[in-house]
Amino acid sequence: MTSMGSIDVIVALAKVFIMILPGYILTKMNLINKTHTEGVSSIITYVTYPCLVIMAMQMSFSWEILNNCKYVVLIFIGVVIIAMIISKILTSVIHLPPTQTGIMAFMMVFGNTGFLGLPVLNGLFGKEAVFYGAICDSSFDVLMFSIGVTLIRQAAKGETKMGFGETIKGLINPCFIGSLLGLCLFIAGIKIPDILSGPMDAVGSATSPLAMMVVGSHLARINFKDMFKSKPSYLVCLLKLLVAPAAALVLVKLIIGGGTLFGTVIVMEAAMPCAMLSVILSEKYKADVEFATKGVMLTTILSLITIPIVAIALQHI
């Protein structure tokens, strides 16, 4: 990894923190409150993120891309299974509440692969890595709004498992429908007309800043001392920033093999800090938003150290 790559990691993370500030400051000034952030979370869930996902999948169809998507899905279903097993063990060993088990599993698997991941990949490995990163990001969206939403809904209900009917019900959400629609358009080779794609692209681009302002608002309501004293949050950091990429690396070696840029990108995307959407979805489904916010913030801070470590390690494995 070059020094320019290291600088790019720092710059990408700095952008995350800067976009958190408006939500934090406005909440401290009592200009926005929990009701406002709930409304913004609904806008993200029902409008901006579906547009973002659909537009991200507006790529020219190729069997190579579709085949690579298959590998991403297989590998990250494996990571999901590993995350669920670890969360199950932790629930009994450290008495993690059921209201946090599903959120921990979600945060271990799903990271900030778009807004943070793509700039980092560009700085470390170049444009071809960004292309593969976009494939990963699109594939993650399908998993996030199917398996991921189920995990959050389990946590909201204080359950460690959910029945088939509830799982199917969890799939009927705008983000998953948007992911499915985007995938269908990609496979069919259908391009959205400019009169629609322009507005959809503009609306979708609002997702990251809105999501991070919501995180900032929740952060303003959290005692910083409590955040840094939260042992489960540090456990989330260990699982997301080190265990998840290690699990992804093992699965990449088994499924794809070593020495490929695509495999490297998958591992790097697994090493990104927790997805901002973990906070948005926790709020949407009335789960433990504070726990999700602490995990997002701590993993984002510590990823400044762990992302370069993972990148350097990949060059020697």
Number of domains in the chain: 1
Confidence of residue 295 (pLDDT cuts 50, 70, 90): confident
Confidence of residue 313 (pLDDT cuts 50, 70, 90): confident
Residue 124: which domain range?
A: 3-314
* Pairwise CA distance, residues 126 & 109, whole Å: 24
- CA nearest neighbour of 287 among 27, 32, 98, 114: 98
Assess whether pLDDT exceeds 50 at residue 3: no
| CATH number of the domain bearing residue 81 | 1.20.1530.20
* Pairwise CA distance, residues 295 & 274, whole Å: 7
Tens digits of residue pLDDT in 139-190:
777 778 778 888 888 888 776 555 556 556 656 777 778 878 888 888 888 9
Q: Bridge partners of 111?
A: 274
Tens digits of residue pLDDT in 90-137:
767 777 787 888 888 888 888 888 767 776 787 777 767 777 777 777
